[in-house]
Structures are given as C-alpha cells and as structure tokens.
Homo-oligomer: A and B are copies of this chain.
Amino acid sequence: MSTLLEQLIESLRVLPGVGQKTAQRMAYHLLDRERDGGKRLAGVLAEALDHIGHCAQCRDFTESEICALCASGSRDRHQLCVVESPSDRLAIEQATGYRGLYFVLHGRLSPLDGIGPRELGLDALSARLAQGEVTELIIATNPTVEGEATAHYLAQLARQQGVRPSRLAHGVPLGGELEYVDRGTLAHAFGGRSEMS
C-alpha cells in the first residue's frame, strides 16, 4: 500500500509534461506553502470535470448547453471558423478582429489513431452547413501533414454543401528573416506572392 503522499505524486503525473521529479516538487510545494490554493484547486477541478461539457453548436468547452460565444447575438453567423483546439480558437479570438462563429474539432483526422470524421463531429458540422446560414468556412487547422489532410477533407465537405471554403494564408512570418525560414514555407510564400499596390 502506498502512502497518501506517494498517491498524490502519482496523481499529479496525469498533468501534461509532468514527470516524477516535477510531480514530487509540486506535491511538496502544495503541502509546504499552498495548502489553501491546493484545496481550491481540488474543489474547482472536481467541479469542472463534472460540469464542463461540449457546446452543442461549436463543440468548445462550456458549462452551459450553448457556449457564450455561440449564444451571443453580436456575431456574424455567415462565417464559421474551424479550429483543432480550444486554444487555437482563443489565439484567433485574441489576435484577429474576427466576428464570426467557431467550430472546434478537438483533434485532427488521424486514421492510424482511430480518429475519423465521426470523432471530430464532422457529421454535425455537415448538418450545420446544410442549413444554409453559413456562407464561408474558414479552415484554420494547423499547417502540419495531418492538419492539411483535415483541411482538404473539410474543404470538400463545404463544397458539397455549397459553402465557400477558405484557408489561412501560409507565408513568411512577420519579423522573421528569409534566411531562417524553412524551405517549404519559403516556396509557399514565393508561389503565393501578390502584386504590390
């Protein structure tokens, strides 16, 4: 039988990027200096895991049936932006002036890991596009191999429903130096050059 302290260290390892040493340091830190904060964490964590589910419309995390963003009356309902994760949604929301709605995949197509269209909620997305309200599907999956494959799949889905698909621009990042940009990105940026006005 292991002691409570050993169980605590073991349990902390479910956190991403936390190994044995870090878990140990966290446990000692909580016991030594953060008992109140630790108790609040335990309470909030239990409550969050019990009550936070997926928004029925966009699949983002929410404790309500429909998330605040989907329920908002001030967003443009003709644009729908598809992202892989809630943090991607947050990044776009914070960086751009986008006023449309989102759809969160919680992953990307990855047949080898058993993640198909069904796991990403693409049947619901397809049904949503069929309703005719959405006119543009902005595909903001990551520029990785799997993200690109997912983007192609989504574009096809959109076209089938008569919705115009678009993709975030690839190119040289602002502030980057050409010398250090990888070859794929540079080739893409070169091919996609636009006339200066």
A residues with CB within 8 A of B: 3-5, 7-8, 11-12, 14-17, 22, 24-32, 34-35, 37-49, 51-52, 61-63, 68, 85-87, 90, 106
Contact = CB atoms under 8 A, between A and B. Distances in A.
A57 to B, nearest CB: 16
If over half of A's interface residues share one DSSP class (helix, strand or loop), that class is named, otherwise mixed; here it is helix
Given A11-B44, A14-B40, A15-B15, 6 more contacts: A3-B63, A4-B47, A15-B26, A15-B41, A16-B26, A35-B49
A106 B31 CA distance: 11
A49 B44 contact: no
Contact of A61 (B31, B61, B62): B31
23 contacts: A3-B68, A4-B47, A4-B51, A4-B63, A5-B62, A7-B44, A7-B48, A8-B48, A11-B44, A11-B45, A14-B34, A15-B30, A16-B29, A24-B87, A25-B87, A27-B48, A30-B49, A32-B106, A39-B49, A42-B42, A42-B46, A45-B45, A46-B46
A76 B183 CA distance: 66
B63 A28 contact: no
Contacts of A31: 48-49, 52, 61
Contacts of A28: 61, 85-87
Contacts of A47: 4
B14 A44 contact: no
Contacts of A85: 28
B14 A30 contact: yes
A28 to B, nearest CB: 6
